[in-house]
């Protein structure tokens, strides 16, 4: 079994890198804070004799050798980047439980058949560089490396340039790294497990998600002297579209969600009728067919909302729903049962690196509850016992998989 | 009569200071570009023997002495700052026609009874520092200097600090500068004169204007894993409020206007349910009583739109409607008639420094048309003949007032 205190201390230690006044973490991908936490992680893995390699998308692999060098590694891991209003658990516990697993194997001297690797994926959050799960996406062949490196943040900086700048562009070509399985431990980020008093979520899949960028073109005008009937107010139109996104999600209740998380208004001056508004849309549903309907409804509503103003909808990302691997799911189910934790099957509302890796390796996830289902929020919180339970399920699922 | 070419050349020359790719000007108050255009203006005034003084709000007064040193100066002028998407005419022609007037008096050797002054007021636009007309407001006693200097831009820089930084904090206490009259030439910034083929607007007053700052408090959450019914989405609520502002203006058609020109979303990340939104409201109407109704309707609608989310409405600015001075208006009417320009009376939809100065000196304004009524837009344009006509009406109104 893992050491709950050591795991909890690692969480507290890394939480200082990018700590916010409200008790969360702001550690955007490929910033200097991201470099700091990567350095921390690499040093800890090397300290217990692991070999660390980095691929050319900045994904970090810390490897503990097994008995059989012919076997591809069994991997665990997640991501160390956060949202601007991130918490201390999202992604982080998946990597640090991996470190804890390595430490436990190291201390007990257990030798596995296959090598065991802990992975930290680059830019999972997608807050700084869209789309999310960018580097696991390249790993799985969903995006080309060239395309991924050309993604820019809102300030115009390229992913590739930022990766070089923090010194984490490795030599290994991303994707040429076979895995025999991947298990990702994560907080649920939603309210289900807590509401049902479950400790472990056996994640059977990830819902479909689509991202769009919308640009509405109006005409700048004087806020005092331009009569309402002569205006082309890009924000008034965008506001109608924001409401439409909410309406469309509500119309596909209870499983659908729709979010406008980012909006920029130009020139953004109090007494100028807005000339251009840029905003993003995030639509999700467990069924890709329902997502098709939602997207069609959105396009139709936007055309009405525009009332003659020009607008453009760019498709930024389309990640179809994923079903995880049956054997991996069974390994998690049995580990949870064997350890006596109340568990239930669950479909992930959030996207995860595992959802890409599932295309190239047998994959699943383990969820633990978070208070009030709150995530992407500085107040995100999880219980020490639950995180330890997740890490123990992870350990057992990995060892069981190794044995087979 | 003024020299139309010289006036037009000054406009072209100053338009290079902060010129934008789209043919406009971005010269925000108290930036280094503002300093450059001030330096340009001061040098030109001094070159024709004017004495230039600056008050401690950065207002610049260029004085040509008259015969009678006991008389307070007759002033003309406007502002040289612009919007982020500003044009080449808004404010600028009022100052440069003043310079042209000084040059014309200088060349022809005309001696006036009263001194003639050209004024450049600081931060008229209100885009960088709210409210607009900040320094003419202090001049007229509507704001204290201390309060005005504490206004901050969206980056947190104080007006007072920025004023020191560009070297335009003068020695003269703002407001201790009696004027015997003020005439401000400006483009209309609306569609009326052009639509009626008038060359001169005899401005009889300025409509009332109110500014508000609204903050909506939601709760950050995961865009994929937070069910719609559990969300507190600050942007979804703010979008309803933006629509309400438009509805309230439309409900008081055709004279009312209502604008949300600036919006900021936090944390502004695609996959985070917005936790806080800040936006501004600008409401205007020629009748203060109607503005009271509009404000009450806005507050009531916002309370409905909130649907339980917390929000705050801060009153930032309330500038009641103004009626200009009868004798000044008559001077403009007679000057336009005497010069044979088609003219009509008009109420200004835009705010102007003259609207504050009217409280402490006999004041009025002269409007000239701008193409399509477009202003606060880089495509703002005015005809050379119209600007020259406005400058000649200004010259004659000033000389007639001086004679009385
Ligand atoms: N797990 C997680 O928060 N991922 C970020 C990508 C997303 O689901 O929006
Ligand atoms: N004239 C002008 O554009 N003034 C700016 C203040 C306002 O009316 O919003």
pLDDT digits (tens, 9 = 90+) for B103-158: 999 999 999 999 999 999 999 999 999 999 999 999 999 999 999 999 999 999 99
pLDDT on residue A291: 98
Q: Per DSSP, what are the bridge partners of residue A181?
A: A74
Is the pTM above the cut of 0.95? Answer: yes
Task: Say whether residue A136 is in contact with chain B using an 8 A CB cutoff.
Answer: no
**A66 DSSP 8-state letter:** -
Q: For residue range A122-141, list pLDDT tens digits in order.
A: 999 999 999 999 999 999 99
Given an 8 Å threshold on Cβ–Cβ distance, is B225 in contact with A375?
A: yes
Q: How far, in Å, are A192, B27, B37, B84, B162 from residue B31 at the CA level? A: 53, 7, 10, 12, 7
User: Does ligand 1 come within 6 angstroms of the Cβ of A34?
Assistant: no
Given an 8 Å threshold on Cβ–Cβ distance, is B225 in contact with A250?
A: no
Given an 8 Å threshold on Cβ–Cβ distance, is B226 in contact with A272?
A: no
User: Does ligand 2 come within 6 angstroms of the Cβ of B352?
Assistant: yes
User: Does ligand 1 come within 6 angstroms of the Cβ of A352?
Assistant: yes
Residue range B52-73: mean pLDDT, rounded: 97
Q: Which of B276, B247, B274, B273 is nearest to B260 (CA)?
A: B247
Residues from chain A contacting residue B209 (CB–CB below 8 Å): 224
Angle (nearest 5°) at CA A171 between A168 and A173? 105
Percent of chain B at pLDDT above 70?
Answer: 100
Q: For residue range A48-74, list pLDDT tens digits in order.
A: 999 999 999 999 999 999 999 899 999
pLDDT level of residue B5 (50, 70, 90 thresholds): very high
Residues from chain B contacting residue A349 (CB–CB below 8 Å): 222, 224-226
Give the Cα separation of B322 and A346 in Å (integer): 65
Residue range A376-396: mean pLDDT, rounded: 98
- Please give, rounded to a whole number of angstroms, the shortest distance from the CA of A127 to a CA of chain B: 5
pLDDT level of residue A341 (50, 70, 90 thresholds): very high
Number of the ligand 1 atom closest to the C-alpha atom of A91: 1
pLDDT on residue A304: 98
Percent of chain B at pLDDT above 90?
Answer: 100
Torsion B180-B186-B189-B190 (CA) sign: positive
Q: How far, in Å, are A126, A251, A292, A355, B225 from residue A288 at the CA level? A: 21, 16, 6, 15, 17
Give the three-class secondary structure for B294.
Answer: helix
Which residue of A126, A228, A265 is in closest CB contact with B263? A265
- Please give, rounded to a whole number of angstroms, the shortest distance from the CA of A261 to a CA of chain B: 4
B156 contacts: CB under 8 Å, gap ≥ 6 = none
Token pair listed for A403? 């044995």
Mean per-residue pLDDT of chain A:
98
User: Does ligand 2 come within 6 angstroms of the Cβ of B125?
Assistant: yes
CA-based end-to-end distance of chain B: 20
pLDDT on residue A237: 98
Give the three-class secondary structure for A76.
Answer: strand
Name the residue of A89, A126, A318, A382 to mutate for ligand 1: max ligand atoms within 8 A of Cβ: A126
Residues from chain A contacting residue B355 (CB–CB below 8 Å): none
Task: Say whether residue A239 is in contact with chain B using an 8 A CB cutoff.
Answer: yes
> Minimum-distance ligand to the CA of A184?
1
Number of the ligand 1 atom closest to the C-alpha atom of B271: 9
Given an 8 Å threshold on Cβ–Cβ distance, is B240 in contact with A236?
A: no
- Please give, rounded to a whole number of angstroms, the shortest distance from the CA of A360 to a CA of chain B: 24
CA-based end-to-end distance of chain A: 20
Percent of chain A at pLDDT above 90?
Answer: 100
Interface test with B, best of A272, A284, A369 (most B CBs within 10 A): A272
Q: Per DSSP, what are the bridge partners of residue A184?
A: A365
Give the Cα separation of B159 and B315 in Å (integer): 19
pLDDT on residue A369: 98
pLDDT on residue B100: 98
- Sequential DSSP letters for A161-209: HHHHHTT---SBPTT----SEEEEEEE--SSHHHHTT-SEEEEEEE-EE
pLDDT on residue B37: 98
Distance B286 CA to ligand 2 centre (A): 15
B218 contacts: CB under 8 Å, gap ≥ 6 = B231, B232, B233, B234, B235, B237, B273, B274, B275, B276, B277, B309
Which residue of A221, A282, A376 is in closest CB contact with B374? A221
The answer for B 361-380 residues in CB contact with A (under 8 A) is 373-378
Q: How far, in Å, are A261, A303, B292 from residue B264 at the CA level? A: 11, 25, 27
The answer for A 319-338 residues in CB contact with B (under 8 A) is none
Q: Which of A313, A312, A314 is nearest to A217 (CA)?
A: A312
pLDDT level of residue B395 (50, 70, 90 thresholds): very high
CA-nearest residue for atom 7, ligand 2, is: B351
Residue range B300-315: mean pLDDT, rounded: 98
Residue of A nearest to B234 (CA): A261
Per the CB < 8 A criterion, the answer to whether A252 and A199 are in contact is: no
- Please give, rounded to a whole number of angstroms, the shortest distance from the CA of A238 to a CA of chain B: 8
Given an 8 Å threshold on Cβ–Cβ distance, is B275 in contact with A226?
A: no
Q: For residue range A79-96, list pLDDT tens digits in order.
A: 999 999 999 999 999 999
pLDDT level of residue B63 (50, 70, 90 thresholds): very high
Residues from chain B contacting residue A230 (CB–CB below 8 Å): 191, 373
- Please give, rounded to a whole number of angstroms, the shortest distance from the CA of A340 to a CA of chain B: 26
> Minimum-distance ligand to the CA of B185?
2
Distance B92 CA to ligand 2 centre (A): 12
Distance B155 CA to ligand 2 centre (A): 21
């Amino acid at each position: 079994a893992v050491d709950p205190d050591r795991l909890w201390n690692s969480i507290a230690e890394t939480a200082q890198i990018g700590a916010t006044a409200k008790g969360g973490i702001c550690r955007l991908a490929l910033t200097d804070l991201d470099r700091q936490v990567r350095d921390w992680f690499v040093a800890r893995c090397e300290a217990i004799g692991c070999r660390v390699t980095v691929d050319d998308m900045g994904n970090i692999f810390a490897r503990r050798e097994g008995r059989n060098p012919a076997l591809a590694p069994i991997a665990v891991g997640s991501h160390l980047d956060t949202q601007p209003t991130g918490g201390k658990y999202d992604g982080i516990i998946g990597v640090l439980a991996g470190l804890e697993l390595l430490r436990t194997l190291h201390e007990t001297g257990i030798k596995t058949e296959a090598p065991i690797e802990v992975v930290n994926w680059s830019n999972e959050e997608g807050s700084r560089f869209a789309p999310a799960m960018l580097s696991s996406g390249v790993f799985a062949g969903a995006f080309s490396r060239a395309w991924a490196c050309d993604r820019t943040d809102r300030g115009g900086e390229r992913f590739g340039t930022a990766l070089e700048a923090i010194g984490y562009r490795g030599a290994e070509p991303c994707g040429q790294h076979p895995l025999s399985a991947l298990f990702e431990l994560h907080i649920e980020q939603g309210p289900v497990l807590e509401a049902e008093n479950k400790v472990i979520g056996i994640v059977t899949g990830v819902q479909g998600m689509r991202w769009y960028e919308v640009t509405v073109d109006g005409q700048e005008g004087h806020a005092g002297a331009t009569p309402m009937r002569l205006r082309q107010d890009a924000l008034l139109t965008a506001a109608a579209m924001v409401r439409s996104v909410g309406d469309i999600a509500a119309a596909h209740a209870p499983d659908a969600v729709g979010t406008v998380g980012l909006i920029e208004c130009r020139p953004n001056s109090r007494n100028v009728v807005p000339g251009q508004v840029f905003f993003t849309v995030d639509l999700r549903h467990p069924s890709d067919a329902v997502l098709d309907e939602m997207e069609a409804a959105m396009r139709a509503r936007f055309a009405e909302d525009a009332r003659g103003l020009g607008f453009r909808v760019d498709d930024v990302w389309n990640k179809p729903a994923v079903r995880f691997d049956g054997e991996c799911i069974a390994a998690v189910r049995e580990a949870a049962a064997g350890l006596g934790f109340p568990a239930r099957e669950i479909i992930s509302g959030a996207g995860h690196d595992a959802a890409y890796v599932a295309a190239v390796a047998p994959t699943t996830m383990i969820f633990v509850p978070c208070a009030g289902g709150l995530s992407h929020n500085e107040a995100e919180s999880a219980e020490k016992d639950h995180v330890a339970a997740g890490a123990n399920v992870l350990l057992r699922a990995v060892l069981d998989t190794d044995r087979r």
